[in-house]
Amino acid sequence: MAPTIDDGYDTPDDLPDEMVDTDGSESDCDDEFEVEQILNRRTIKGKTQYLIRWKGYSRKHDSWEPSSSVSSPKSVRDYNKKLRSAHGCVTLADALHRDGYESVLEYDTCHQFSAYLASQPMGNLSRSNHEGLQPSDPGEAMKAVVELQRKQKVSGNPAEWVQGYTDEFNSVSKLRLRELSPEEAARVRAEELVPRLRMILEAKRDGRKKGRLILQGFLEPRSWDGGVATDSPVAYMGTIRALLAKSGKSDVISQRDVSVAFLQSTEYAADEPKRYVSYAAYKGAQERMYELLGPLYGQRSASRRWYETFAGWLTSKEMGFIQGRNEPCLFRHPETGLVVVLYVDDVLSRGSEHDTDAFHLALGKRFKCKPEERLAVDHQLDFLGFTLTKSFVNDSPAIYIDQEESMISFLSKFERKQLKPRACPMPTNSLLHSDASPLSENATALYKHAVGTLNYFSKCIRFDIAHAVSRLSSKMSCPDVGSWKSLMHLLGYLNVTTDFRIGGVIGDTDDFAFYADSDHAGDKLSSSRSQTGYILFLNEFPVEWCSRKQPLTSTSPAEAEIYAMKEAVQSARLLQWVAEEMGMVVDWPFTIYTDSSQAHSFQHNTCPNSKIRGCFDLRDKCVQELRDKGVVKSVKIPRDLNVADLLTHCLPKSKFSEILERARNLRYYNCTAACVFKHVYTVQLHSST
């Protein structure tokens, strides 16, 4: 059994001059050495031992001795007085010197952490009814942090990480762990599969240094799942953008982060199988055994149980929210109209000020949360890695989203000063295929990392780079020098557009505009498959877009355009269904704009004997829905007005800038275009009816 540091509270002020040997052990030699100082005390199997600093000897000769070998009662009394004066805490100087950390840590680090410990009440230090040092004890915590920093390559002063480590372990221990007795632990080791816990050090964007105690999920027994699904829904990114874009000038937009959400999930029921875990703070530390009382980070089912806990509370009679069917992370109150979106443990809401106040009051009572934040002109929100800002345009509120901070952080890995400024992401595809020489192993890894990150940006707000990122992604399996040059060109464009944002003015009604396009076999050097592109707007706010290769090769531009329209219609229907679940008034059929005469003709069923016969089975449900005039109607527009061109073609800087400006000021350009092409639209609409 590992030793435990005695807290000194039960030690009398005075000891008898003669100390009785209680463990029957004898000294290894007959020589008597003079005690200079007692550094620490521990108990093993009920027997007391002291860590002795011998007079005339260095620290490396410090040794643990049974109480019977200590012939200096004064040293024992001095040591006990020192314990009481420190309120029962073991000083770090002794703990670190005892454990040999002077060679690992700087001297001032030890003393900084000693000051921290001196400021902590005894109740902050973890204790157990079982023997042995607890992982959150001072010396043990420091040992663990130093080893974790080395293994995880985490920089910083170890003393700065100990608070986060200790807080996390104590929090998880209180909410999720019951330490087993030695007898229970022995039985569990022999009969059960016991996965290990692991501590992760996390540096937060706000400078906080946290620990995260997780279960190593790859060791988790399948029997723990209970034969039920473990996947958990996550809010559709388009849902979040639609929530921000919807009408409601006086609405309050607020966000809140549920603290340690998975630890606030409903605990395991009494009739569920018992689950056991183990934890060793560092290599060589005692492995402790625990019963796991509820979900923990790292488990397969943890996110699902948290989602069910939160959704169950919102849809209870007490709260009265209705959960979305098409978007299960969307909740709306039928009476107040307050809308709530859950993204794992981040909560975004929109509604009146009164209803928002009531919701957050109830949320704070049910779950431990961080303080609520509200979007205002003088207060931005950081949500899911992007920034929400509010301003006024002609006395009307406008909401915008940007990722400037994240983008700058990403570009800093590529020496921003060396990136040449570019006016567009990918003017042609010739650079992409200019050099087929393979990249080095390190350059290949960096290319994959960069393109993976760019995919994230392109799905959040950067629709302007979606087409370029799609082309670069086609080279992920085997990037070459040409693809690297194209990547650098794209980074040069991003470097001068870090302040790019999407958003718009919030009005009194909700208006939708959907655009679809394709580029038939536009990149034959990579693939003969065509590119699908579509972009969906709500109140001039781009809320959903896509640029990707079609799964099959199209035999004609008409087939490629029809397939692109079909995908756009599918996404548009989903968006409108989710909008209805938010309480928006949606008009059916909706209009989708295309610059393809063939796609327009196909949707209106005017040419059943056209050359695309045999490409689509007209009996398929998806084709019938595409041609259902009660759901969707297509309108042909000139190519110059189709902003989806941005998502399908490599565009030179002048054309790219023109279309991007149109997409970012859709309402103005649509009004202008409506005047110019009013006669064309009228003729088309009459012919379609």
**In angstroms, what CA-CA distances link 615 with 135, 566, 609, 648?**
66, 13, 12, 22
CA distance 525 to 115: 66
pLDDT value at 501 more than 80: yes
Residues 536, 591 share a domain: yes
> Residue 314: inside a domain, yes or no?
yes
Residues 168, 33 share a domain: no
Instruction: For the chain, count helices (H), then strands (E).
Output: 19, 24
CA distance 33 to 529: 86
Residue 365 CB coordination number (10 Å):
8
Residues 659, 556 share a domain: yes
CA distance 287 to 290: 10
Which residue range is the domain that position 467 belongs to? 414-495
| Residue 654 CB burial class (10 angstroms; 0-12, 13-18, ≥19) | exposed
| 235-289 tens-digit pLDDT | 999 999 999 999 999 999 999 999 989 999 999 999 898 999 999 999 989 899 9
Name 545's bridge partners.
535
> Residue 453: inside a domain, yes or no?
yes
Question: How confident is the model over 196-211, as a mean pLDDT?
Answer: 89
Residues 365, 340 share a domain: yes
**In angstroms, what CA-CA distances link 64 with 99, 132, 133, 427?**
12, 15, 16, 74
> Residue 102: inside a domain, yes or no?
no
User: If you average pLDDT over every residue of the chain, what do you get?
Assistant: 83
Confidence bin at 613 (pLDDT 50/70/90): low
| Sheet hosting strand 252-257, strand order edge to edge | 322-323, 330-332, 339-343, 346-351, 252-257, 373-374
CA geometry: angle 678, 684, 686, nearest 5 deg: 100
Residues 519, 475 share a domain: no
Contact 296, 214 (CB under 8 A): yes
Q: Which residue has the tokens 């290769």?
A: 549
CA distance 168 to 433: 51
CA distance 461 to 456: 9
Query: Of 371, 402, 433, which residue is a domain's last?
Result: 402
**In angstroms, what CA-CA distances link 662 with 432, 500, 673?**
27, 15, 11
CA distance 8 to 87: 9
Looking at 90-104, 246-260, 415-429, 473-487, which range is the least confident one?
Answer: 90-104
Residue 353 CB coordination number (10 Å):
12
Confidence bin at 606 (pLDDT 50/70/90): low
Residues 351, 207 share a domain: no
| Residue 350 CB burial class (10 angstroms; 0-12, 13-18, ≥19) | buried
Query: Of 62, 85, 108, which residue is a domain's last?
Result: 85
Confidence bin at 556 (pLDDT 50/70/90): confident
> Residue 379: inside a domain, yes or no?
yes
**In total, how many domains does the chain have?**
5
What single DSSP character describes residue 171? H
Higher pLDDT, 2 or 76: 76
| 25-49 tens-digit pLDDT | 443 444 567 888 888 877 776 678 8
| Sheet hosting strand 396-402, strand order edge to edge | 381-383, 386-393, 396-402, 501-505
Contact 645, 639 (CB under 8 A): yes
Phi-psi region of 525 (alpha: psi -120 to 50; beta: other; left: phi over 0): alpha
pLDDT for residue 607:
56
Residues 364, 251 share a domain: yes
Question: How confident is the model over 130-148, as a mean pLDDT?
Answer: 78
Question: Which CATH number do you get for residue 541?
Answer: 3.30.420.10
User: 3-state secondary structure string, 297-324?
Assistant: CCCCCHHHHHHHHHHHHHCCCCCCCEEC
| 574-599 tens-digit pLDDT | 999 999 999 999 999 999 999 988 78
Q: Quote the strand ranges of 87-240, DSSP E.
A: 177-179, 197-203, 209-215
Q: Which residue has the tokens 């009920």?
A: 46
| 151-179 tens-digit pLDDT | 999 988 898 999 999 999 999 999 999 99
Query: Of 460, 495, 530, which residue is a domain's last?
Result: 495
Using a pLDDT cut of 70, give the percent of the chain over it: 81
Confidence bin at 104 (pLDDT 50/70/90): very low
Letter for the amino acid at 382?
D
pLDDT value at 186 more than 70: yes
